[in-house]
Amino acid sequence: MAVERPDTEAYGTGGSPDGHAAVGQLLLTRRMRDFTTGATLSLLPALGSIVALVYTFRDQVDLAVLIGWATVQLVLIAVYVVFDSILDRESPSLGELRRHWRRFVLLQWLGSLAWAGIFPYLAPVAHGLDAVVLAVVAIAVLCGVLLVHRTAPSAAIFHVVVMAISITAAIWTGTGMAGLPALILLALFVIALLGSTREQERQIVEWLDAEMNRREATDTVRLLLNDYEEHSSDWLWTVDEAGNLRNVAERFAMAAEKPAETLEGKPLIDMFMADANRAIIARHLSERSRFHDLVLKLRINGEMRYWKLSARPRDDGQISGVARDVTSDRMIEERVAFMAHYDNLTGLANRYLFNERLRAALDQNERVRNIALFYLDLDDFKAVNDTRGHLMGDRLLREVGKRLEQEVRGQDLVARLGGDEFAILVETRSGAGMLIERAHSFLAAIRDPFEIDGQIYRVSGSVGIARSSDGSCDAEELMRRADLALFAAKNKGRDTLALYDQSIDLAARERREIEIDLREAVARGQLNLHYQPVIDLQSGSVVGYEALLRWYHPKRGIIGPADFLEVAEETGLIVPIGEWSIRQAFAETAKWEGHFRIAINLSPTQVRSPHLVKVIAQSLHAHGIAPERVEFEITEHVLMQESSISMGNLQKLRELGSRIALDDFGIGYSSLSYLRRFPFDRIKIDKDFVDGVESSADNQAIVSSITKLAEALGMATTAEGVETRDQLGLLRRLGCQEAQGYLICEPVPGENFATADAVDAAMRGGAVSGILAYRRTREASVKQSPRRAS
Ligand code: C2E
Ligand code: CA
Ligand code: CA
C-alpha cells in the first residue's frame, strides 16, 4: 500500500486527488498546529511591539495614522484568535481545514503587509533610542517568520521578502548610502531566513514521510490484525505489569462471553480454573517470561472449555498473548483416550485399562498389594444374543455392567474384558471366605431379573476368583488363575463360583495335555467307536445303534467324549475327529449283517462345517450305506447359533434321505422353541428325566407331554439312559417308542458288537443279571482293545 506524498503546501490548500485526502489532512493539520503554536507564542511580543511603536512614535508622526495602523494589527490578531478558537472546537474535515488554512495564510499576508508598511513610515523620524526600538521591532518581526510562518512556505517567503523590502526602504530613507553595511547584513540575514524556511519545509516533508511510513506500517499491522482476529480462532490479549487485562479486545470478550468492560482490569488468570498450568502461567506473568501453548480450563456459562495460551512480554512492560479455544480438540483427545481405555458399550474400563491398573496395583508396595481378581462370565449369554437379538444383548450387558458397578466400592475397578466377560479388580486383605462372599454378591446382583422395554430377562453368571496373596504372581499369572477359576466354575454348572487353587491348575494342565495329545490321536489310531443298541419298546428288539466315540489313550486308558469333546470343540479338532467317526461308523456298519439304523452324533462345529455334507455323502457312497439307515443327532446348541450353513447342512442331510434327531431334549431352557425351528424326525428324551421317572410325578408328566407333543409333530421318541426295568416299563406306558441305556446294553466296541440277536435273547430272558453278565464280558474285552489300538 504505497502512499504518495504531496510535496508542496499547495497540496494542502489547493484541490487534491481524493486518494491523497488522508495525506493532505495530515499535512495541513500539522502545518496548522505548528502555525497556531507559533502564532500564539508570538502574540505577546506582537502586542508588545505594537504598543512600543505607538508609545515611542506617538509625538513624531500623525497619531491618527499610528492608531489606525495599531487598530488594523489588533483586528488581525483578534480575527486570528477567533479563527483559532473555532478551529479548536471542531474536528474539521479536509475541506474545512483547507478553508481555515487559506484564511490563516491570508491573515499572515495581511499581517506581513501591515508590519512592512510601518517601518518606512517611521524610519525617517526615528533617532537615537527611537531608532533602536524601531530596529529591534523590525528585526523581531522579520524573525517572526521562524515562529509564525515556518510551516507555510508561501507566507514565510512573502513575509521575509515584504519585510526585507520594508526594512531596506526604512534604512534607505533613514540613512541613505551610510546604511549600506546594514543593508548587506540584512541581505545576509534574509538569505539565512529563507534558507531556514526551506530547511523548515524540508523537515516538514521529511516528517510527513516518516509519519506516513509509520502510519502505513501501523495501518498494515492493524489491518492484518483485524483480518487475523476475524478469521482466526485466536484472540489477542494484553495484560499489564500486574497481570490485569488491558484493552480487552471485543473478540476476546466475546469468546469469554463477558462484556469487555467487565474483563478490563481483571487478573487474566482469574478467568481460569486452578490447576498446574494456571500456576505455571501465573509464574510466567509475574516473571515476565514468555510461555507457549499452555492449556487452561475455564467455565463459560457453566460449560467447561479449554483455552490454549501463549504470550511474550513487550517492551512497554505489558505482556501480549494469544488465546485459542481448543475445547473440541480436547474433546477429541479425551474421546480417543476414553475409547482407548474404556469399553464403548458399557462405559466400563476395557481390557487395556484393566491390565494397566492391575499392573500398577501389583507394582505397589508389597505390603499393600493384596489384590483379588473376579472374572465373571454370563451363562448362556449367546442364547440371549441369538434369540433376542444383538441389540437386546448389548442392553443386557450394559445393565449387568451397571449392577456390578453398584456392587463395588469406589476404589474397585469393574471392567468389561470383551463379549460377556467382566472383571473386577479389588484391593483387599480379606481371606478366601470374604472373597467368596463377594463373588456371591456379584452372582446375586445379576440373578435379579432385568426389565428391559417391559420384558423380563433372567441371566446368571459364573465367577472365578484369584488372589495375589496365593504365592507370588505377576499380572499375567493372576489373570491366568482367574481365568482358570472361571473355567472351573463354568464346568461346575451355571450360577456358581470357584476360587483358584492348585487342583484347578492341575485340571487346566491336564486339559492342555489332552489338547496336545488329541492332536495326535487320529493320526496314531487312538480313536475308536463304541456302539450302544437302541430297542423298540413295543417289540423289545434292537432297531439301531448309536455310535459313541472313545479315545484309547496310551497312558490314561479309555477316555469318554465328556473328557475331551470340549477341548476338541474349542480347538476345532472336532472336525477331523468327527469326519473320522463318520467314516469309521459307516465302514463298520457295512461289515455287519442286518438292516439296523445307525445314529451318529454331530457337534455344533461339525454342523457348521461347509464340508460336512460332502464328507457324509462320500463316505455313505464309499461304504454302500443307504442314507435312510443313518440318523444324525444334534443338540439344541446347533440351533442356538442360528447359522445359515448349519440349517442348510441339516436340510441337505434330510434331502439325502437321512434323519435328524434332537438329542438331550429337555435340558436346555427353550427346547420347545427349537422344535419349531427344524422338522426333526426324533426327540431323544434326556437321561435327566428318565432318571426320576419312577419316583417323580413331575418327570412322568414331562415325559408324557414330550411323547404327546412329538406324536402331534410327527416325531419319534427315544428315552436315553434307561438303567432299570421300572423305568423301561414306565417309559413304555408313557408312550415312548424307543429306549437305550445300560439296562439294555452299554456302548461296546465294534469288534465285540452286541448283535441284535444277543441283545434280544438277553432282554427276552428278562433277567437284569443276564444283561449285566453280558456287559461284563464286553467290558473285559474292551479293556484289551487299547493294546490293540496303540
Ligand atoms: P449322548 O449323545 O447323549 O450319548 C449318550 C451318552 O450316555 C453316552 O455317553 C453313553 O455312554 C451314555 N449312556 C448310555 N446309556 C447310559 C445309561 O444307562 N446310564 C448312563 N449314566 N449313561 C448312559 P458318552 O459315550 O460318554 O458320550 C457323551 C456325549 O459325547 C454323547 O452324548 C454325545 O453327545 C457325544 N459324542 C459321543 N460320540 C460322539 C461322536 O462321535 N461325535 C460327536 N460329535 N459327539 C459324540
Ligand atoms: Ca446322542
Ligand atoms: Ca443324549
Distance 634 CA to ligand 3 centre (A): 9
Cα–Cα separations (whole angstroms), residue 95 to 6, 86, 272: 16, 15, 52
**Contact at 8 Å (CB) between 485 and 417?**
no
C-alpha cell, 287? 516473571
Distance 601 CA to ligand 2 centre (A): 5
235-333 is classed in which CATH architecture? 2-Layer Sandwich (3.30)
Element (H, E) at 675: helix 671-677
How confident is the chain (790 residues) per 10-residue block, as mean pLDDT?
43 43 76 82 89 91 92 91 77 78 88 91 87 89 82 86 91 83 89 88 84 67 55 79 88 89 92 93 91 92 91 82 88 83 92 92 70 93 84 93 94 94 92 93 94 89 89 84 92 91 88 90 92 91 93 92 90 94 94 90 94 96 96 90 85 96 78 80 93 89 89 92 94 95 88 65 49 46 40
Instruction: For residue 382, give the amino acid letter.
Output: K
C-alpha 648/C-alpha 627 separation (Å) is 17
Q: CATH topology for 524-789?
A: TIM Barrel (3.20.20)
Distance 387 CA to ligand 3 centre (A): 23
Question: Which ligand is located closest to the Cα atom of residue 665?
Answer: 3
> Looking at 137-214, which runs of residues are DSSP E strands?
none
Paired with 310 in beta bridges are 322
Q: What atom of ligand 1 comes closest to residue 549's alpha carbon? A: 38
Within 303-449, where are the H helices? 327-341, 351-363, 381-388, 390-407, 432-447
Distance 228 CA to ligand 3 centre (A): 80
The percent of the chain in helix, strand and coil, each rounded to the nearest 5, is 60, 15, 25
Which residues contact ligand 1 via a Cβ below 6 A? 532, 547-549, 560-562, 565, 578, 581, 601-603, 606, 633, 663-664, 720-723, 740-742, 747
C-alpha cell, 375? 472374572
Q: What atom of ligand 1 comes closest to residue 747's alpha carbon? A: 11
Q: Is 36 helix (H, G, I), strand (E, B) or coil?
A: helix
Name the residue at shortest CA distance from atom 20 of ligand 1. 721
Name the residue at shortest CA distance from atom 21 of ligand 1. 721
Residue whose CB lies within 8 A of the most ligand 1 atoms, among 522, 546, 548, 589, for a mutation test: 548
Residue whose CB lies within 8 A of the most ligand 1 atoms, among 535, 546, 549, for a mutation test: 549
Distance 548 CA to ligand 1 centre (A): 6
C-alpha cell, 127? 533617532
**Contact at 8 Å (CB) between 628 and 679?**
no
**Contact at 8 Å (CB) between 595 and 560?**
no
Distance 547 CA to ligand 2 centre (A): 8
C-alpha 539/C-alpha 537 separation (Å) is 6
Q: How far is CA 344 from the centre of its chain?
A: 12
Distance 164 CA to ligand 2 centre (A): 139
Question: Which ligand is located closest to the Cα atom of residue 602?
Answer: 1
The overall longest dimension of the chain from CA atoms, in Å, is 181
Question: Which ligand is located closest to the Cα atom of residue 664?
Answer: 3
Distance 427 CA to ligand 2 centre (A): 47
C-alpha 461/C-alpha 443 separation (Å) is 6
- Identify residues whose C-beta is under 5 A from ligand 2, the ion: 601, 633, 663
C-alpha 194/C-alpha 157 separation (Å) is 7
Quick count: other Cβ atoms within 10 Å of Cβ 691?
Answer: 17
C-alpha 51/C-alpha 44 separation (Å) is 10
Q: Which residues contact 412 (CB under 8 A, 6 or more apart)?
A: 424, 425, 426, 427
**Contact at 8 Å (CB) between 740 and 722?**
yes
Going by C-alpha positions, the residue among 384, 381, 387, 391 that lies closest to residue 677 is: 387
C-alpha 199/C-alpha 340 separation (Å) is 76
Paired with 716 in beta bridges are 682
Distance 492 CA to ligand 2 centre (A): 22
Own/partner long-range contacts of 442-445 (Cβ < 8 Å, ≥24 apart): 442/374, 442/376, 442/404, 442/407, 443/495, 443/496, 443/497, 445/403, 445/404, 445/406, 445/407
Element (H, E) at 296: strand 291-300
Residue whose CB lies within 8 A of the most ligand 1 atoms, among 574, 583, 601, 602, for a mutation test: 601
Name the residue at shortest CA distance from atom 12 of ligand 1. 721
Distance 629 CA to ligand 2 centre (A): 16
Q: CATH topology for 346-500?
A: Alpha-Beta Plaits (3.30.70)
pTM value is 0.51
| pLDDT at residue 364 in the model | 76
**Contact at 8 Å (CB) between 267 and 248?**
no
DSSP 417-447: EETTEEEEEEE----HHHHHHHHHHHHHHHH
C-alpha cell, 688? 435327566
**Contact at 8 Å (CB) between 270 and 242?**
no
DSSP 449-472: PEEETTEEE---EEEEEEETTSSS
Q: What atom of ligand 1 comes closest to residue 603's alpha carbon? A: 44
C-alpha cell, 48? 508588545
DSSP 484-547: HHHHHHHHH-SS-EEE--HHHHHHHHHHHHHHHHHHHHTTTT-EEEEEEEEEETTT--EEEEEE
Name the residue at shortest CA distance from atom 41 of ligand 1. 549
First-to-final CA distance of the chain: 100
Q: What atom of ligand 1 comes closest to residue 684's alpha carbon? A: 3
Going by C-alpha positions, the residue among 667, 610, 674, 608 that lies closest to residue 639 is: 674
| pLDDT at residue 668 in the model | 64
Cα–Cα separations (whole angstroms), residue 255 to 240, 249, 268: 20, 10, 14
- Identify residues whose C-beta is under 5 A from ligand 3, the ion: 663-664, 720
Name the residue at shortest CA distance from atom 22 of ligand 1. 721
Q: Which residues contact 556 (CB under 8 A, 6 or more apart)?
A: none
Q: Is 152 helix (H, G, I), strand (E, B) or coil?
A: coil
| pLDDT at residue 429 in the model | 83
Distance 663 CA to ligand 3 centre (A): 5
**Contact at 8 Å (CB) between 442 and 463?**
yes
